[in-house]
Structure 1
Amino acid sequence: MNTDSISNYIRDHLSEKRRTHTEGVRTTAAELARRYGADPEKAETAALFHDMFRGADRDTLNRYVDELGLDPGRYRDNPNLAHGKIAAEIMRRDYGVTDPDIINAVRYHTTGRPGMSLLEKVVFIADAIEPSRDYPGVEELRKATWRDLDEGCLAALSRTSKYVKSRGIPLDEDTAKAEAYFRRLMENKNGE
């Protein structure tokens, strides 16, 4: 896929910090894809699109929620959850990306979901561990991810669940289901 148009969008619309993050996700996703057997080009494409609406103001996001027919109860006034869903729809509608795996990698990069494809896992965890990320526990998360992709995803989901619950915010149902899915997956892998 020709990524010139999304690269131009990133240059013109994202802050320097968000551009650095996006580039970090792109390179990390490509490395993880090579390591675990996903398509690096698809991983890079999804990474470029994943946060295209992350810095958009609330009114713009709400307008897209309405325009794209997204669940207003879930996504209106909720930039953390809405930005990936909006980006997935816009990449399909305005950029001609039709690969469902790339679209889902963007759609679920924040929340995860049960049964994520290899590409979805790669983009999800690359978003959490790219080099500019600096938060307590990120080094352990990076190590877990390079040991085992599913272990890294579970660790990231568990961390998100704890953080969201500590703030008294309801946990998104996709995240809760994804965490339970990866917990069972790891138990099966470890023979528990």
Structure 2
Amino acid sequence: MDVEQLKKVLQERLTQSRYEHVLRVAEKAKSMAVRYDISVMKAEQAALFHDIAKCMSKTDLRDILEREQEDPRLLDFHHELWHGPVGAVIAQKDFNVADPDIVHAIRYHTTGRAEMSDLEKLIYVADMIEPGRDFPGVETLRELANENLHAAMGACIYQSVKYLVNKKVSVYPDSIDCYNAYID
């Protein structure tokens, strides 16, 4: 897929601030891909697609999850998690993205999962540390991402789970499995 064409589609589908976030994630993903010898093309593609469903209505997200028979547990959790799996479906069905590693990177960029590929880790981390993010500890995560992708992923999933636990909200099982994989 032509990157410039995809950017035009994203600009139409997303708010301006979300579109700018996606561009920052793509730039971060590309630079990390070079550092960690991961395909820059795959990293850019996954990063550009990662939030393609982010601005869809809750009803539309639910309809796609149900129609595509995605994990029904998703519907028991906050709808903020839904855009990853729906984005993966959109990438596959509407844009013919066939590479399972890219599809998984899109699908799991919010929850993580056990046994993530390096591309999946890269997109998860890039999304969390892109330059527009500002939360306590982000600078430490950025430094770690420059040193060791696996360690950065562990620190990022720890940050995510800790955030959710502190808010006293449910944590999706894939995130717990991911967290457990890094603790072990």
Q: Say whether the fold is shared (TM-score over 0.5).
A: yes
Q: Which residue of 2 aligns with 1:82?
A: 82
Post-superposition CA distance 1:141-183 (Å, at most 9, x none):
1011111111111111111111111122111111111111122
**Measured at CA, do residues 44 and 63 of structure 1 come closer, stay the same or move farther in structure 2, by a change above 3 Å?**
same
TM-score by length of 2: 0.94
Task: Structure 2 unaligned segments of length 5 or more: list them.
Answer: none
Which residue number in structure 1 is paired with residue 113 of structure 2? Answer: 113
RMSD across aligned positions (CA)? 1.4
Q: Residues 88-103 of structure 1: matches in 2 within 5 Å?
A: 88-103=88-103
1:55 to partner: Cα distance? 1.8
Give structure 1 stretches of 5+ with no counterpart.
Answer: 185-192
The structure 1 segments of at least 4 consecutive aligned residues displaced by more than 4 Å after TM superposition are: none
The match for 1:189 is: none
Aligned partners of 2:75, 2:46: CA distance in 1, in Å? 21
For residue 55 of structure 1, what is the aligned residue in structure 2? 55
Q: Secondary structure at the match of 1:94?
A: helix
| Partner in structure 2 of residue 188 of structure 1 | none
Distance in 1 of aligned mates of 2:7 and 2:68: 23
In the other structure, the counterpart of 1:187 is: none
| Bigger mean CA offset, 71-80 vs 135-144 | 71-80
Scaled by the length of structure 1, what TM-score is found?
Answer: 0.91
CA contact (8 A) 1:29 1:123 kept: yes
| 2:173 equivalent in structure 1 | 173
Distance 2:120 2:51 in 1: 14
Is the Cα–Cα contact under 8 Å of residues 65 and 76 in structure 1 kept in the other structure? no
The number of aligned residues is 184
C-alpha contact (below 8 Å) 2:25/2:126 kept by paired residues: yes
- State the percentage of identical aligned residues: 34
- Give 2:181's aligned amino acid: Y
Residue matched to 2:30? 30
The Cα offsets for residues 31-50 of structure 1, whole Å up to 9 and x where unpaired, read as: 00000010011000000100
Residue 76 of structure 1: CA displacement?
6.2
